[in-house]
Amino acid sequence: MPYIAILKKENLKRYLSLFLLAFNFATIAHAGGLVRLHGKIRNPIADSIYISYNNSRIAYDPIQQGIMLNKDGTFSTSFTVAEKFTPLTLIHGGRKADLVVAPDYDLEIIAEGKKFDSTLHYIGPGNEVANFVALHIIDRGLMENYVVRLQPAFSDTAEVFKKKVADIEQDEVLFLNKHMSDLPNDFIQYWVSYYHYFSYFALTQYPLLHEMAKQKTYYIQQISPASYASIIDIPEYFNDSLLGLSTYRLFADQLFKMRLNAVGYNNLPEGTEAQRYRQDDSVLTLDYTRMPPATSEYAVASMIYTNARQQPLARTERLFEMYKERWPNSEYITPLQRQIAIVRRLAKGQKAMDFPISTPQGVKSKLSEMKGKVVLLTFWSGAYEQGIIDLRLETKLFNKYKDSGVVFVYVSIDENELAWKSAIDKYKLSGVHTHVNGWKSLLAELYGIQSVPTFFLIDKKGNFALDHVPLPRQGDALGNEISKLLKE
């Protein structure tokens, strides 16, 4: 049975001044539309400008658009956003800048190529918000640097960390107070809320990141109870009007799970089905009963979507049917259906989708040509360092099985081909290597790649051998599965 009694509603405790409490958040609503960007980069240092943002609430769906510059450095583009305010990243010649846009913004950009991120200036509808964000880059850095500024404090005690979070959030409010005179009220509400919930999310992540800093490893087996002191004061401050905020959604995803972790109420992998998913079922029950309607609709969908790749298909389908009964017209039904379709396509016994392989040495082949051998297929990226430990442990498997009829195939999703080849050498990855152009490549989508590294174990008949491939860091489990397949 789900364990609910341990969670008691907290009194609202806020880190900010009464300035924060004066806001009515109801204007941060779900609204989409067209955005236009055009302008000129003087003395460009590259032939293009890139735009990147995520346009889905529950799926990892990065929208990446490369716009070629004209000979005089001018460019023009338009794209659709799903939220009232959408943060996106602009990249030119390796220099990165933030921009927050809203439907109907029509912004002319002016910038210098060599100082792209520090010379941005905007003209046209939406310029007040755009120029505020450009100033924020110069004064405070990128929006994503909020957690980076907290990184040294992850080594401190929970109480010290909480104070550091409060101080950094207050700095953001002071910056806003200083430069808010021309900003629309709804954006001010968005900005304050964005960082407030960024703080909550950072507090939920402290227990794990503190242990990582203390133990000096990415993979933590146990977290000290004292580390959970960071989440005690986080209120259940849910508000449906805030769903357009990515940081609010992170907060909604994590709060109940981390509170259950804090009292040791986890899934029990070796138990009955009810025990194996007792924490997950408790979180779902809390999502259904303790959240307002739209937040509940999102949070349940997000959990089903996220867990679909780790749990039995039958369980996911059962939860999905319950979801549709509760919210038959939900906007999240379509991405959930797509996720379940991916799980079915990659299920044990299904034929592994064929694809061409072109190695750095120019050797060409196909996955289907490896039929008759066991294949460990790995999608990876050198840019995601947290996954490198698994890849290094995979090298040990390569050394053990390389002469036993096992082929190790690596598919890099690094968009930069030079970076791909450099990472192979850097991490000394032995096997058959090939490369696709990023997350949105056809092959990455066909195999449903949503994180890296992702592993697939393929049997001698060319079929997927497991629904869920053990990670190399999970002891001997993956090696045992390979040994079983070799005996078949």
Considering Cα of 315, then 317, then 320, then 325, what sign does the dihedral take? negative
* Amino acid in position 238: F
Closest to 247 in 3D by CA, of 283, 307, 203: 203
Per-residue model confidence as pLDDT tens digits over 230-242: 998 899 999 999 9
How many other CB atoms sit within 10 Å of the CB of residue 72?
Answer: 10
Residue-level pLDDT at 26: 43
- Amino acid residing at 386: Q
On the question of pLDDT at 39 being above 90, the answer is yes
17 pLDDT above the threshold of 90: no
pLDDT at 217: 75
**What pLDDT was estimated at residue 439?**
81
* DSSP class of 93: T
pLDDT, position 355: 96
Domain ranges of the chain: 31-143, 266-345, 356-487
Is residue 5 pLDDT above 70, yes or no?
no
Q: How far is CA 249 from CA 18, 201, 297, in A?
A: 24, 9, 12
pLDDT score recorded for residue 30: 56
Please say if the pLDDT value at position 145 is more than 50. yes
Query: Is the predicted pLDDT of residue 298 greater than 50, yes or no?
Result: yes
Residue 222: pLDDT over 60: yes
Cα–Cα dist 223/221, whole Å: 7
Say which residue the tokens 């990515």 belong to. 246
Confidence band for 22, pLDDT divided at 50, 70 and 90 = very low
Residue pLDDT, tens place only, 312-351: 999 999 999 999 999 999 999 999 999 999 999 999 999 9
Query: What phi and psi, each to the nearest 5 degrees, are found at residue 12?
Result: -65, 125
Share of the chain above pLDDT 70, in %: 93
Is the separation of the CB atoms in 83 and 94 below 8 Å?
no
What is the pLDDT, as a whole number, of residue 218?
67
Q: What is the CATH number of domain 31-143?
A: 2.60.40
Asked if residue 248 has pLDDT above 50, the reply is yes
pLDDT > 60? residue 279: yes
User: In DSSP terms, which residues pair with 456 in a beta bridge?
Assistant: 377
Instruction: Give the pLDDT band (50/70/90) at residue 31.
Output: low
Rounded to an integer, the average pLDDT of 55-76 is: 88
pLDDT of residue 9: 39
Sign of torsion, CA 385 390 392 395? negative
Fold observed for domain 356-487: Glutaredoxin (3.40.30)
How would residue 1 be classed by pLDDT, with cut points 50, 70 and 90? very low
Specify the 3-state DSSP secondary structure of 23.
Answer: coil
Residue 58 pLDDT greater than 60, yes or no: yes
Query: Which range, 48-62, 139-153, 200-214, 285-299, has the best average confidence (pLDDT)?
Result: 285-299
Concatenating the DSSP letter of every residue in 161-181 gives HHHHHHHHHHHHHHHHHHH-T
Average pLDDT score over residue span 295-324: 96
pLDDT, tens digit, for every residue of 258-271? 999 999 999 998 88
481 exposure class (CB count in 10 Å sphere: 0-12, 13-18, 19+): middle
Q: Grade residue 220 by pLDDT with cuts at 50, 70 and 90.
A: confident
Residue with the larger pLDDT of the pair 351 and 488: 351
CA 50 – CA 63 distance, rounded (Å): 10
How many other C-beta atoms are found inside a 10 Å radius of the C-beta of residue 345?
14
- Please name which of 273, 277, 234, 274 lies closest in space to residue 254, comparing C-alpha atoms: 234
> What's residue 13's pLDDT?
38
pLDDT tens per residue across span 86-139: 999 999 998 999 999 999 999 999 999 999 999 999 999 999 999 999 999 999
> How much is the mean pLDDT over the chain?
90
With a cut of 80, say whether residue 62 has pLDDT above it.
no
Whose structure tokens read 């379940």?
340
